[in-house]
Structure 1
């Protein structure tokens, strides 16, 4: 059985593991003050062409979202997110547990937020008898595999700035987004357009780790205090720093994301050639084909994947996710099984 359930089923890229072994007995400062973490932070600033951002390494996406959003908001302020947004659906109320409400906006099948949706939420919260919307949360790629274009992000950025809202981007799958053929954003665009974002390592070759980038000066103060208070400051901070140093030193991060996308696109083409449609256009390493239930059951005998949404009595959309480590022979086996069922 081969898994297409997610992009974190494997451990870490061998270059990362080898570097962790090679540096294992080198004595370093703790709590992210080691030479590797400091060098990785400077490398990321160079990649972003922006020297005045603050870079903090954390261990996971939910932890990063929880601490960042709690740090950025005052007690009466709330976050706006698409109804499919990770902080609204898959983080066990982590944001709410810090005392901040998540205001969910209905979004289309692609899971993108729009200016109109944000404006509607602002209109619905006009005074001090309600929470005050202050932060807009988006994901790139979205939870439904879509990618924000530069014009879309510019529109959100302009709106947020004119309405004194923070724009925060969850980049758990940012590598896949930036490597997508429909993407026209550069990493260097993000510090100009958002107040904070994170670069996801867990889902793109790292053993664990996310790099939070705080762009807005007003949000930088005392962030390390909050990391420590929330249990997010690793004594062995080198473990995350080393991984991002390896991922970005020779563009390994982009190469791994490109492989994940390529495997997804190979699956997509074969599924399209077999006559099946998709819930959303396949543009990243998450794809959502709509398949007959008998085909799904046949595929499930050999592969793991998630059911996503029932379309009608005979069809459902499933989620297939490829990773930096997805084997092409596994993709070929999936395609052959699909073709065999189509013929029968």
Structure 2
């Protein structure tokens, strides 16, 4: 099995061509292609993607639509496309304790997410907030771990910047370098407000 994440852990995205090539290679060698979609909504609404949900459904054997990072209380929606994997799938879930006793609540969440384009709208908001941060980091002259056009941004800060900002903000430390700098992760979401983002940008400018 080939397991990929879209977006990746550092916010990079697969292109349609790349996924088509991966899919063709998997089918050539009899491998299943599984796409981890924990942050899928932010990948689909990125300004730098040409990959659609229909493309993913056409090219993958199994993928899942993440709910937890996109506004639901809990849960993910697994989508099984390959007919060879469908027989006894529900039974296997039961045998491994993966069926919720109150599964109706999980279903209602995804029904709501996919009504009136809510899934796209709330993920687009997270992207918009992240792009404001990306612009601010760039203007500050900060390098990035990777070029991300998703809700995750990975600027590289000096230790002084990191120490100052962590007094006020929750920042994920990603990697510490020998030159005294630190790669960090900022994540935005459906719940991130413009006020919060502008407060961070103003504090960044003051450093």
Same fold (TM over 0.5): yes
Unaligned runs of 5+ in 2: none
1:137-216 correspondence runs (5 A): 137-216=3-82
- Residue 226 of structure 1 and its aligned partner are, at CA, apart by 1.2
Aligned position for 1:298:
164
- Residue 312 of structure 1 and its aligned partner are, at CA, apart by 3.0
Aligned position for 2:143:
277
- Residue 282 of structure 1 and its aligned partner are, at CA, apart by 2.3
Aligned length: 207
- Residue 313 of structure 1 and its aligned partner are, at CA, apart by 2.6
Alpha-carbon distance between aligned partners in 2 of 1:144 and 1:190, rounded to the nearest angstrom:
20
Q: Is contact 1:310-1:316 (8 Å) kept? A: yes
Does residue 251 of structure 1 match 2:117? yes
Alpha-carbon distance between aligned partners in 1 of 2:164 and 2:148, rounded to the nearest angstrom:
22
Larger Rg: 1
Q: Deviations over 1:156-214 (max 9, x none)?
A: 00111101110000000000000011111111111210100000011001111111000
SS in 2 for 1:197: strand
Q: Deviations over 1:110-162 (max 9, x none)?
A: xxxxxxxxxxxxxxxxxxxxxxxxx0000001111111110010010011110
Aligned position for 2:191:
325
Alpha-carbon distance between aligned partners in 2 of 1:189 and 1:140, rounded to the nearest angstrom:
13
TM-score calculated relative to the size of structure 2: 0.98
Q: Deviations over 1:264-313 (max 9, x none)?
A: 11011011101111110121011100111101111011001111012333
Unaligned runs of 5+ in 1: 1-134
SS in 2 for 1:262: helix
